[in-house]
Amino acid sequence: MTSRLDGPLKVTGRATYGADNNFPGMAHGYVVLSTIAHGEIEAMDVTAAKSAPGVLAVYSPFDPLALRAPTSSLLGETWVPMQDRNVAYYGQPIGFVVAETYEQARDAAMLVEVSYRALPALTSLRDGLATAEDAPPAMDGSPPSLSVLADGVESIEDALAASPVVVEATYATAGQNHAAMEPHSAVAVWDSGVLTVYSGTQGADLQAADVASALREEPASVHSVNPFVGGAFGGKGKTSIPTFLAAAAARALDRPVKTALSREQVFTATANRPATVQAISLGAERNGTLNAIRHDSWSATPMDRSFVEPTSHGTSREWYSTRNLAISQKMVPLNIPPTTFMRAPGEAPGSFALESAIDELAVALDLDPIELRQRNNSAAPPGRDLQWSSKHLDECFRVGAARFGWSERTPQGRTDGDWLVGLGTATAMFPAMRFPATVGITLHDDDTAEVATSGADPGTGLLTVLSLVGGESLDIAPEKVTPRLGDSSFPAGGMSGGSTATASAGSAIMVAAPRVIDDLLALASSPGAPFEGAEVSYADGRVLGGGASMTFGEVLHAVGRPSITATGSSAAGEEMTKHSFSSFGAQFCEVRVHRWTREVRVSRMLGVFDAGRIINAQAARSQIMGGMIWGVSAALHEGLETEANGRTANGDLASYLVPVNADIPDVDVHFVEHPDTLHNDLGARGLGEIGTVGMAAAVANAVHNATGIRVRHIPIMIEDLLPE
């Protein structure tokens, strides 16, 4: 096991995050938010704010900063504030105050008076279901509705009607906030026409491109730096409001500007996971073979329709073998804050519905829930000819059942004094993907190497992975490899998201390493070099030839070169047309429900995962544990609550509940390691998000096993478990 290289810096407070940067003459910005959910700003009186102590400037739709909305091929258009007077949600950024200190900017912002022409607002997903629209095509281009029917079957309704056993139910998941430890912030500094932005992001080169586009500046004039990110989970994929505002204000005022959102502002001035409603129908033979799956989903989306939670396409289309499948994805435009990717988008909320329904079918069939899942294990996604490149889900369930003591489970749970005890399980799947990435490798004359890419380590352990894969690829100890991340001046690493970073950056390292070694060997045998004219080879960090041996540092020193550099790029290619790729897992959970108070306590958790080769077991276990805890949080704690007027009722960490240590028992994590070299030469598949998938359903299924009460929405409340 390898400890995280950034661990000592983080736990001792020596890691420098975006807002930790300070510069002489730095001003501070504070964002003004709307107090209605829908309407138009008629006037903004900023007189008192402008005359407040220390205030340098006040910006509004009537006097805006020069910005435009940038667009990227990966994430689409990113909204920037104050470009018109329209208000689409409560808490929308509508103004910006810059002062000498944060406190002065904050206090002056409270003096801004806004007059609105309020319009009716739609803020409830349930109330808006009647106005639902078809969602846009999925990321792979699939239409919002599709079906796969067996020969002779005319409709999914016919397939369900012909099934001896049918389970139908509607499930709901609450919206969530990313609640990263580091609130969104930025420090912007202009120097000689070049802007440097210090801001937590999941992709430094993407952020630099966004800011350059928004400011109408040349891309080469914007430099993004983010060596450390205090949590992201998708919420720092798009460039944040503070980044745009700080950059534009720093240019307008010709001085550095720092902007940091308060914790309360993070809940509306960034983006959240949308709430969903999902209707599932399962039709099966009496032996448990699935004959039909219908999964209809509705996702909340903001009025700009910028993001939809793809619950149907992310689960029912992939997970189980069935002769007949019909899925649909709709969206409900609401006057709510922006929505975006959050850890396991689609799969996390989608798995709650699908895996709860599978559990209900197991009950209806009087069949063990694991046995039902294994009988319907898919060799390929329904309707596709591309088989899974590598799938060991059955092994995950076998190993997990033995480790967890599943054989002791009874259909009615058991009692332990005043506690009702139940066991639940669920499947976990998350697609294995790769994003384009370029990595630079530099060999130095002191026998050390540097591996650099602009991608980010938002807590995933990528920094350490670079050193491990770099050391392996260069045939040197990983301690001699210095990894570099989070700087747009490095080779473009793209986004660290979608559980892609290890496979993407690792594959690029495996391209760059042979190149830099080839260049080294050519240099070593060149005229005047130590191995001039000799046949040379490379092993253990040394150049070999003519009976002699020198380290690469000695070779570089001998030829007067301090270093040598090569780059390598990698992206998903032809292999994606030959196989389907996913990581897999089996989630297990034990809960205890108090007989009288109905409080729920998770007492045991186990996750067994098939994610290809595990590069760093310690970091991998930590990532999975975090995801599993997130699943418990979704099941029992987290949920955004929106008042009728659009205000987020629990927009702070006092009332937005997340688990604390007392809520989480020891978490057992196990990997079944089968390197997937069809996916990439490294053999690793993503695991940052799969730990979340299925866990909320496992908790809910365990609650049913303990109490006999089926709760079809999350988070589960005490009142949901009161006996009738």
Question: Do 43 and 114 meet the contact criterion of CB atoms below 8 Å apart?
Answer: yes
- State the DSSP code for 339: B
Residue 579 to residue 386: CA distance in whole angstroms: 5
Residue with tokens 């670079």: 466
Residue 91 to residue 123: CA distance in whole angstroms: 13
Q: What is the DSSP string of 589-646?
A: EEEEEETTT--EEEEEEEEEEE-B--S-HHHHHHHHHHHHHHHHHHHHT----B-TTS
Residue 297 to residue 171: CA distance in whole angstroms: 9
Question: Do 692 and 666 meet the contact criterion of CB atoms below 8 Å apart?
Answer: no
Residue 48 to residue 50: CA distance in whole angstroms: 6
Residue 656 to residue 131: CA distance in whole angstroms: 29
Residue 72 to residue 201: CA distance in whole angstroms: 15
Burial of 35 (0-12, 13-18, 19+ CB in 10 A): middle
Element (H, E) at 232: none
Question: Do 583 and 687 meet the contact criterion of CB atoms below 8 Å apart?
Answer: yes
Residue 251 to residue 199: CA distance in whole angstroms: 17
Residue 495 to residue 490: CA distance in whole angstroms: 13
- Reading the block at residue 74, the tokens are 């990966």
Residue-wise over 201-211: b if at least 16 C-beta within 10 A, else e?
Answer: bbbbbbbbbbb
689 is annotated as an active-site residue: yes
Residue 298 to residue 129: CA distance in whole angstroms: 7
Residue 416 to residue 226: CA distance in whole angstroms: 50
Question: Do 153 and 223 meet the contact criterion of CB atoms below 8 Å apart?
Answer: no
Residue-wise over 323-359: b if at least 16 C-beta within 10 A, else e?
Answer: bbbbbbbbbbbbbbbbbbbbbbbbbbbbbbbbbbbbb
The amino acid at 45: D
- Closest Cα partner for 427 from 493, 483, 353? 353
Supply φ then ψ for residue 628, to 5 degrees: -65, -40
Residue 461 to residue 440: CA distance in whole angstroms: 19
Residue 330 to residue 315: CA distance in whole angstroms: 15
Q: Taking the CA of residue 724 as centre, how many other CA atoms within 13 Å lie in the half-sphere pointing to its CB? A: 3
Residue 543 to residue 474: CA distance in whole angstroms: 12
Catalytic residue among 309, 641, 689, 724: 689
Q: Measured between alpha carbons, how far is residue 697 from residues 255, 267, 279, 313, 714 in Å? A: 51, 26, 15, 18, 9
Catalytic residue annotation = 689
